[in-house]
Amino acid sequence: MNLKNLKIDLPRNWREISRSGSENQIYIKIYHISPISKVDLKIFQDQSFPSPGPNVNVTKVGIPTVGQPLRAFYDGMKAAISSGFMPSEWTLQKLDNLWKQMTELHHPSEGDFDADISVARYQNEEIARQSFKNMALMPTQGFNVPIPGGVKIPGLPENVTITELLESEAYEKFASQYMPKEQLEKLRSEIKKVQKQISEEVKPSLSKSGVKYKETKYLGYKVICTESKNPTPPPKSRSSSRKTSEGAGGFDNRLDPLPKIPQPYQEKIIIYQAMLVGKFIITGSLLWAAASLPSGNTPCYSLTQSKKKTTTIREAGEVFTDIAIVPVVSNYVKEGYLHKEEVEEIIKRIITALK
């Protein structure tokens, strides 16, 4: 299979932006279409309608916007960027711009989230497996990791590391056929600089921040992930007063309260870095985001479905009627908001396509 032709059957509210790569490696960028891009923004504000009779007031209540349930995603990504565990193109400024798009009404385009997927194919499963393990080792060990493929060279350990190989006489003789000695020495010097930086800067920083690289399982496959302490403190116990917000935005007593769903506090923030599928390794920001996004059953208010609520009061011998047109209670899946299960479904479809 030529990976350049890898077909991913995306859900209906996702689109592919671009792809590049080769037969053995593909880079695909996709985006999620915001359901807000499909509605009139007036629905998020209260609207008054002509009265059908004396002492009757008709109002269409503005729909509270979605935003705060995505906070866990923002906090997790911010912690990862601050700790230096995201690719260089991921800056706090880029994250803030993404957060702004995800939480504001006036999106610059129909999308509210974009992500990339990278798939690399290795010669065999053994090489893929060691390359995968090295992804967890290199942040703390640099090039002192085994060479994928089980290279055996006389006079060197069976599991020779990249550093040992580059410093060996055997490699020097081999490299002399393809590069000047000065170039090899420069390569060795750069490797030593990286090793020194890891020893003097990266490892102390990891120890101080408490970030750990771990191998675990996700969707039934081995993954490398970073695990760090949640910078957000546990929520304080809340009273049952309806004055507090039940969802994003302030609570309007004309709205039905959103049902509460179990949202246990996560002491650790997990970000998946790589997934091993046979002789393939999947990486990319779609994988990073998967653990932090809100669930599809997160309650919200419908963008299209509403009902009437009528309130009648009597004052000074007159009857006054208030008719409120309010959105019905819904959830992220029904409304098409970005959610965890849909991202997981895309990852599953990629796995199926690779098989």
DSSP letter at 348?
Answer: H
Task: Quote the pLDDT of residue 254.
Answer: 87
Residue 189 CA to residue 199 CA, distance in Å, equals 15
Write out the two tokens for 24.
């053995």
Q: Which residue has the tokens 């060479």?
A: 147
| Model confidence, pTM | 0.77
CB proximity list for 263: less than 8 A, separation 6 or greater: none
**Short-list 247, 244, 245, 246, CA closest to 66:** 247
Q: What is the rounded distance in angstroms from the CA atom of residue 294 to the CA atom of residue 308? A: 30
Supply 244's token pair: 């507090």
Q: What is the pLDDT of residue 211?
A: 79
What does the block give as tokens for 255?
């709205």
**What is the reported pLDDT for 244?**
37
The string of pLDDT tens digits covering residues 203-258 is 777 777 777 888 999 999 999 998 888 777 777 765 444 443 344 444 578 899 99
Name the β-bridge partners of 319.
314
Identify the CA nearest to 243 among candidates 253, 233, 230, 235: 253
In Å, what is the CA distance from 219 to each residue of 106, 264, 272? 35, 21, 11
C-alpha to C-alpha distance for 333 and 329, rounded to whole angstroms: 12
Compute the half-sphere exposure of residue 343: CA atoms within 13 Å on the CB side of its CA: 28
Q: Which run of H or E residues covers position 249? A: none
Share of the chain above pLDDT 70, in %: 84
- Residues in the chain, pLDDT under 70: 67-77, 79-80, 83-90, 98-109, 149-157, 237-251
Question: What is d(CA 30, CA 43) in angstroms, rounded to the nearest whole number?
Answer: 28
Backbone angles phi, psi at 40, to 5 degrees: -75, 125
In the block, residue with structure tokens 């807000």: 36
Specify the pLDDT at position 325: 93
